[in-house]
Amino acid sequence: MRRVFLWLLRGSMTLLALLTLVACALHVTNSDSTAEVPAPDATALRIATYNVHYIVLSAQTGAWSVGDWERRKGPLDSAFRALQADIVAFQEMESWSRGSDGSVNLARDHLADQNPEYGIAATGDWRVFPTTQPLFYLKDRLQPLDQGWFFFSNTPDVIYSRTFNGSFSAFASWVQFEDRRTGDRFRVANVHFEYSSRSNRLKSAALVRDRIKPWIDAGETVFLVGDLNALHGAQTMDILEESGVTFDRIPGATYHLNRGVHLIGAIDHLGRSPSVTLKGGPVVVQQRFDGAWPSDHHPVYADYRLPSAAK
């Protein structure tokens, strides 16, 4: 009996050692030791995507609570500033509690107060426009012309409708901008797909494809960004690319378990229509800010050349 016990113990220790080695190898593979973020040059448009995790208004302590928000709001602002982006598309920018009416958004309001040079698009009265996926944009550079939303649902134009399998609401927000420098007009669609249901992701991707393909077919410049909860090359991404967008490979993990642990490849992505040229990146900013992780995701950005600049 003792021999069996020792054999099982040694086997367990060997398996644990192997799993540790695999985890370490994955962490190294999915880590991108990028230095300080450089400023974009004058001909580039920098677009970023960032899942900043919701805040639980009813919790005063613990992970993602109001108290935890007080700890991470400074680092989040530092991360936002470090991006030096013309547009930052946010996901999970939500302050939530059971029965809340959607009028409180601590992260959005804090970043807006600290960064008055940025405007906010894809937002409005929560009763007619979902406010948890806003796009922050540099007001001196860009002018929003139009905005909209659709839900990943059998009734996509019904606000807050549940997803295809009846789970929590999920949606796409979009904004049409004009570049004040060049006169270029373009749209940015910002999505967040469900992590737990592959069928929901695939149906959501098909809906997004069908909504943005007419824009691209009509010759519009389109960016598709956000948290796809899918790896590069997954069927989710294949469906989206049927619209005409291209996803440039992200060189490292974007989700890190809120601990800086990089076990899987990127699930946050940046896509562009054929009229757009990739000028630099994409880049994952895998670092702490002010000694803390602002979210369980890293921000991702890339620099693009709009059609008029390529002529």
Q: What is the pLDDT along the chain (311 residues), one digit of tens a residue?
A: 555 444 544 544 443 333 333 333 333 444 555 557 999 998 999 999 999 999 999 999 999 999 999 999 999 999 999 999 999 999 999 998 876 777 899 999 999 999 999 999 999 999 999 999 999 999 999 999 999 999 999 999 999 999 999 988 999 999 999 999 999 999 999 999 999 899 999 999 999 999 999 999 999 999 999 999 999 999 999 999 999 999 999 999 999 999 999 989 999 999 999 999 999 999 999 999 999 999 999 999 999 999 986 55
Q: What pLDDT score was predicted for residue 100? A: 72
* Short-list 279, 222, 217, CA closest to 44: 279
Catalogue the long-range contacts made by 157-164 (C-beta closer than 8 Å, 24 or more residues apart).
Answer: 159/127, 159/128, 159/129, 159/130, 160/130, 163/194, 163/197, 163/200, 163/204, 164/199, 164/200, 164/203, 164/204
- Report the b/e string of 222-254 with b at 16+ CB within 10 A: bbbbbbbbbeeebebbebbeebbbebeebbbbb
Reduced to 3 states, what is the DSSP secondary structure of residue 159? coil
Q: Cite the DSSP H helix spans in 53-147.
A: 66-83, 106-114
CATH 3.40.50.300 is right for the domain spanning 34-310: no
Q: What pLDDT score was predicted for residue 3? A: 53
Q: What pLDDT score was predicted for residue 250? A: 96
Measuring CA to CA, how many Å separate 99 from each of 96, 117, 178? 9, 33, 38
Kindly report the number of other CB atoms within 10 A of residue 81's CB atom: 14
Which residues sit opposite 175 in a β-bridge?
A: 147, 188
- Domain coordinates in residue numbering, the chain: 1-30, 34-310
Q: Cite the DSSP H helix spans in 152-288.
A: 198-217, 235-241
What pTM, to 2 d.p., does this model score? 0.89
Which two structure tokens, joined as six digits, stand for 159?
Answer: 């606000």
How far, in Å, CA of 243 to CA of 246, rounded? 9
